[in-house]
Amino acid sequence: MEKIDYTGTVYLLDHKYPEPLLNHSVKKLGDLGIKKEDITITDSPENPQIGNIVVEVFPYHLEIARVRTIRNDSFISGSITTIELKTDTDGKYID
């Protein structure tokens, strides 16, 4: 898997997903070279900067994007990649 080049905070967007999904998402980001201490789990990034990584969590995949533009209190991001999240037959997340 290719590493993601980043600086500063990586925002993991949580929309009230279960803890196992968030933990697995953090693990998958670690596989991409993102340090756990650089990840902020939030429902809305505070003061994102151009170039920050934003990760949208879904039950079966992660959408990874980079902030391109900031307008007012909103940001526009461009997609970098999508990472599939796999589960076993019991619904537990696996690599």
Q: How confident is the model at residue 10 (pLDDT cuts 50, 70, 90)?
A: very high
* pLDDT tens-digit readout, 41-83: 999 898 899 999 999 999 999 999 999 999 887 888 899 999 9
Within-domain flag for 5: no
pLDDT number for residue 30: 96
CATH of the domain at 62: 2.40.240
Within-domain flag for 3: no
| Number of independent structural domains in the chain | 1
Please, are residues 58 and 82 in contact by the beta-carbon 8 Å criterion?
no
Within-domain flag for 43: yes
pTM of the prediction?
A: 0.90
Within-domain flag for 4: no
Q: How confident is the model at residue 1 (pLDDT cuts 50, 70, 90)?
A: low
Question: Which residue range is the domain that position 33 belongs to?
Answer: 10-94
Q: Tokens at residue 57, please? A: 């969590």
